[in-house]
Amino acid sequence: MADNTMFDLTGRAAVVTGAAGGIGSAVAAALAAAGAVVLVTDVDESAAAKAADQISQSGGKADSMVLDVSDHDSADAAMSRAAALGDGAVHIVVNNAGVTAPAMFADTTNDSMRRMLDIHLMGAFNCAQAALPYMPTDGAGRIINVTSSAGITGTLGQVNYSAAKAGIIGLTKSLARELARKSILVNAIAPLAATPMTETIRTDERFAPTMLNRIPLRRWAEPSEIAGAFVFLASDAASFITGQVLPVDGGMVM
């Protein structure tokens, strides 16, 4: 029989990036519900504060802070703050912040290519590196990156985003090998959910039916349905899993 304490995150400090809304705020709420103290971070300071307030009102422990993941100094400051919440340790880092800038390859500018790499790939790099000095080496340390089916299979009109998300998979696997000696586990999740990021593809009749046909479960998930996989990977239940990419996407990638 499953032992529920396997999923208990009491005493662990977590940082979630891009947690003002969408998948990030659902993950922050789920980690807090499992007992973690959560630093809710985002470029949108007031929305991050609101998300943290909602967690507190539901009985969880949370604080918020502005964090632009593309800025290493900003990541350093957030990890220092999270460590203060976690009695000196940052146990869980969720690298979730992201944006898209769809364009066909011929129209993809240098700036949009660099922006995708800066926010997604450099963002995960900055936050993981900033957190490392604070991460415990007793097996509780977790880095959970957010990639995408776009990084696994590629997507038409998203060379910039797909390249950045594929880079995150390489970062995840190499970091998992390197940090295994510190018993820090590094995994990635490739989600699919109804969020502001996917609004056009869910509602525009040029894309919506085709996209739905690609999902065997024939529906979009709410962000809260994605969050459980993050709690699992953050918990003792996942103590022997590292370097993996877990699609949570209704069977789209298999």
Ligand X SMILES: NC(=O)c1ccc[n+]([C@@H]2O[C@H](COP(=O)([O-])OP(=O)(O)OC[C@H]3O[C@@H](n4cnc5c(N)ncnc54)[C@H](O)[C@@H]3O)[C@@H](O)[C@H]2O)c1
Q: Identify which of 157, 148, 195, 18 has the alpha carbon closest to the alpha carbon of residue 94.
A: 18
Taking the complex as a whole, how short is the minimal distance between the CB of residue 244 and ligand X, in angstroms? 16
Length of the chain: 254
Among 125, 134, 161, 230, the one annotated catalytic: 161
Residues 58-77, one symbol each (x = binds ligand X by CB under 6 A, - = not), give: ---------xxxx-------
Instruction: Determine whether 161 is an active site residue.
Output: yes
Taking the complex as a whole, how short is the minimal distance between the CB of residue 6 and ligand X, in angstroms? 25
Asked if residue 86 binds ligand X (CB under 6 A), the reply is no
Taking the complex as a whole, how short is the minimal distance between the CB of residue 173 and ligand X, in angstroms? 18
Asked if residue 119 binds ligand X (CB under 6 A), the reply is yes
| Helix (H), strand (E), coil (C) string for 145-190 | EECCHHHHHCCCCEHHHHHHHHHHHHHHHHHHHHHHHHCCEEEEEE
Helices (H), 94-144: 110-116, 122-131
Is beta strand 13-16 parallel, antiparallel or unpaired with respect to 92-95?
Answer: parallel
Residues 139-178, one symbol each (x = binds ligand X by CB under 6 A, - = not), give: -------x-x------------------------------
Q: Are 197 and 225 a contacting pair, CB within 8 Å?
A: no
- Closer to ligand X by CB, 33 or 101: give it: 101
Taking the complex as a whole, how short is the minimal distance between the CB of residue 146 and ligand X, in angstroms? 4
CA separation, residue 102 to residues 112, 159, 210, 244 (Å): 9, 8, 17, 27
Asked if residue 192 binds ligand X (CB under 6 A), the reply is yes
- Closer to ligand X by CB, 8 or 76: give it: 76
Asked if residue 29 binds ligand X (CB under 6 A), the reply is no
Asked if residue 43 binds ligand X (CB under 6 A), the reply is yes
Q: Are 90 and 38 a contacting pair, CB within 8 Å?
A: no
Taking the complex as a whole, how short is the minimal distance between the CB of residue 200 and ligand X, in angstroms? 11
Is beta strand 245-248 parallel, antiparallel or unpaired with respect to 37-42?
Answer: unpaired
Residues annotated catalytic, as ranges? 161
Write out the residues near ligand X by the rule CB under 6 A. Answer: 17-18, 20-24, 42-44, 67-70, 96-99, 119, 146, 148, 191-193, 195-198
